[in-house]
Chains A and B, each alone.
Chain A
Amino acid sequence: MKLDWSIVWQSRWLLFEGALVTILLTALTMLIAVPGGIVLALMRNSRLKPIALFATGFVELFRNLPLLLLVYWAFYVMPVLTGFGLPPFTTGLVALCLNVSAYNSETFRSGINSIRRGQSEAGLALGMSRLEVFRQIVLPQAWRRVLPILASTWVSLFKDTSLVSVIAVGELAHTAMQIRSQSFRVLEMLTAMAAIYWVLGYPQAKIVDWIHRKYGVRE
């Protein structure tokens, strides 16, 4: 077995770009999926039955599907639904957003429901509107409680972005797999890919632990 690690150094800029796309994809997904999750959570708590039912169906469906399948599904169904082809990046983003919005919705719902009813009632008694009560009383308190779970979701999402590589989104996993098949330096590239994910992911996992310690709800 002869190993040639120079391939990793030669492709450093490609890998760097791939890592940037991975981070961009993670950040964009979270940016969309946090408001998405809040809206879905509010819809589930809605008094209008059809709205609540739709949101429940949406959340349960996208929470209980393998992401890989969702990625393929978006890849084939989106062009038909929209009538034109979308770049892989957008398709991957949509699949990730569907999945993470569903998760975030559950997170926010439990966060919102954990704020005692008396708080909203007090707000209403002062003459605040329901929207004001939600924005100024419930959400700020719920926010603190859901933060640790959102942080965990962030790390899962960061790892899950590797799955959109199957539809040729040029993120880290896809880039590394491409270089692997072009250079035949399989062991070197796969190890480099794992190492880069580790270097990026390990501090994130540690930060999540810290957020849990700082903000975690204790009995």
Chain B
Amino acid sequence: MKFGVVTFPGSNGDYDSYTAAKFVLGKETVFLWHKSASLEGADVIILPGGFSYGDYLRSGAIARFSPIMKSVIAFAQSGGIVIGFCNGFQVLMESGLLPGALMRNSHLRFRHRFVYLKTENHNTPFTNMIPEGKTIKVPIAHGDGNFYNFQADVDELEKNSKVIFRYSDMNGKITNEANPNGSLNNIAGISNREGNVLGMMPHPERAVESILGSDDGLLVFDSMVNYLVNKPAKSA
């Protein structure tokens, strides 16, 4: 099992993701340069946090056209596991792999702190190891995390259980106070219709050892490993 971490110019979460997968999880992990078109046989593609291409134009808008993204989009469309954290989420949306937009935080401030997430769907490649009823404590660090989409499309996500993570209090209660950026319905992470692509604003890769303040983020990595180990031999 191999993890591939994409590095765009301006990525700053690529080493966090690499460290989580390679040293904490103990899996083979490679960096994938944005100018390359090869995914080097990776089974999981991570789009890391940061400020790809300086966030010029809109967050994620330029990264979407990089050579590596052509391959990532094809990989995702053939059922490959792709996860985007923070800026990676923004790239996934700009690429059209996930529906919606991430706007400037409603209060205009950059927010960096721990949040609690309620998992709304445990039956995904990214959440199957998160115990029912457990909120996970992971950090956020963003200025453009305000999830927005047309009401009909949000309803569609909700109806199909594609809202995977929601900002909550530590007991899993969804409140306005727990919403750090103004996101509709407290949405922190969503998946595509097929369920193989997940984007989330928080950073589970920065909460993988207790010395970091929380190791709850490791559950997201464990889930992907568990999914890949147990999935039927014939992949999509």
Tell whether A and B belong to one assembly. no
